[in-house]
Chains A and B, each alone.
Chain A
Amino acid sequence: MSSEPALMSLTAVAKAIAEKRVSSREATQSCLHRIARWQPKLNAFMAIEADEALKAADAADAALAEGRVKGVLHGVPLAHKDMYYDAGKVVTCGSKIRRDFVATTTSTALQRLKDAGTVRLGSLQMVEFAYGPTGHNPHYGAVRNPWNVDHITGGSSSGSGSAVAARLTFAALGSDTGGSIRMPAHFCGVTGLKTTVGRISRAGAMPLSWSLDTVGPLARSVEDCALLVGLMAGADPEDPTASALPVPDYMAAARQSIKGLRIGVPTAFYVDDLDPEVARVLDETLAVLTKEGAEIVKVDLPDQRQLTAACQFVLATEAAAFHRRWMIERPQDYGAQVYMRLQNGLAISAVSYLEAMRWRGPALAAYLAAVEGTDAVIAPVAPMPAPTIAESDVGNSHDAEAVIQRVTRFTRPINYLGLPSLSIPTGFANNGLPIGMQVIGRSFDEAMLVRIGAAFQRATDFHNRVPEPA
């Protein structure tokens, strides 16, 4: 075990606190120490609440000493993307418009983690209104990648990716509407689980697109993600779209072998125009999975470009509908790129939007037919490792949407289909930047993704590598 508690995994520190080998105060102080060192370089936190966190940690330690344990995350300090309502706290959503917005309710996902005993460290930076894949933010500054601070983190859960990678928090909530968990997980070298649409309640989470929004964690390992999703998933009277399907034992799935599983690799689209480093890491990942006993098979998927287009119709239209009032009343308070992308939603007619929504069922059925006989599909998260902050700062330029579409082209089809997808760190580029792969499953089969991802992490150490401050 490391002498620095902040370097432990979520599951390890939770166990250590429960067994009184590490106190909640020690764990919290260790995170705060790292935050003080890294925050000036990374800009990962929106708010740091050191005094309140230590006070809550002391209360957790006192309760534990008296035998009062709240749950499996008793005393574990966490911070989350600043879009999860937490009653009494400012929730900026990464925006100027909500700079002073104080939530009056607490999101269901966050409340379930609180009920398990977590301590709040503060809140994490994000792209304005979660509408962007790079991590730039004109109001609060770009978040930086701890592996190389000149490079992007990916977005929109930019602070979550950066803070988990630098070991400033044991895990963090993100959200994924077009790739916003998987992208930062890939660029920052952490594990991220985009859940099935409906698996985790969205109540009290800032909406971007109600048909596509999903809640999920970014953490240091698949096992940590499994623990968090198990706590958050399930029916919620506050969100009628949250599924009442039983929540599997994801931690048990993490212990299962992958021997005999069939994992599909697309023959096109996800393997086209890859950076050579990403192509190399994909081959190496397949070799590890084969060595662990999985059979790799090729799959011919339906045209994914159509899914990407349909996703853009749905996302852009619903986002514009949410923001219409502020677009009329406060256009000057949006960053240029987000406002530009919201404007795009005005160009899609109701008939086009509803046609995209009507096609969703047949599109999912066609995808599932194509992957029949496999247990999951593996593909790159993005065609390239993290670009620099400077080269990806396209603002609202004429070709900005094309640049954004290129970065997100491997994630959006999965959002449109509502499928779960696990991003795991699978290697590094020659310049030291991480590269991740996504394991895509069937609806509500997060357990299979956990099983595959955990087996990969038992065989490799990419997820355990920690960036050093420059």
Chain B
Amino acid sequence: MTKPTARQIKAMAEATGVPLTEDEAARIANSVGPAFEGFAPVAGTLPFDLEPATFLLVQKVSR
């Protein structure tokens, strides 16, 4: 997974209706970068038939 650039973040935020300055976008890119790097080994590797509710199933059967 590639971490988003400041330019991409600015565009995403504006699409949400929350405008950002270029400085803010640069700061956010710096803040979230480590999370994208941390999740990179997982991103794009998940099996097709997996949904968020699988968590509840695992939670239930693991008791």
Contacts and interface: CB of A to CB of B under 8 A. Distances in A.
Contacts of B32: 312, 316, 344, 347-348, 401
B34 A309 contact: yes
Contacts of B38: 305-306, 308-309, 312
Contact of B43 (A312, A331, A355, A445): A355
Interface string B1-26: 10010000100110011101000100
Interface string A366-402: 0010000000000000000000000000001010111
Nearest to A310: B39
Contacts of B18: 324, 327-328, 331, 343, 346
Nearest to B31: A401
A360 B20 contact: no
Interface in B20-63: 20, 24, 27-32, 34-39, 41-44, 46, 50-60, 62-63
A365 B58 contact: yes
Where chain A touches its partner, the secondary structure class is helix
A361 B57 CA distance: 8
Contact of A343 (B1, B13, B35): B13
Q: How large is the interface on A (under 10, 10 to 19, 20 to 34, 35 or more residues)?
A: 35 or more
A418 B52 CA distance: 13
B-side binding surface: helix, strand, loop or mixed? helix
Nearest to B30: A398
Contacts of B16: 320, 324, 346
Given A308-B38, A313-B39, A346-B12, 18 more contacts: A309-B34, A309-B35, A316-B35, A320-B16, A327-B18, A343-B13, A343-B28, A355-B43, A357-B52, A358-B52, A358-B54, A360-B54, A361-B54, A364-B58, A396-B27, A405-B34, A442-B62, A443-B60
Interface of A: 196-198, 245, 303, 305-306, 308-310, 312-313, 316, 320, 324, 327-328, 331, 340, 343-344, 346-349, 352, 354-362, 364-365, 368, 396, 398, 400-402, 405, 418, 442-445
17 contacts: A197-B59, A303-B41, A306-B41, A309-B35, A310-B39, A340-B31, A347-B12, A348-B32, A355-B42, A355-B43, A357-B55, A359-B46, A364-B55, A365-B58, A368-B58, A396-B27, A442-B63
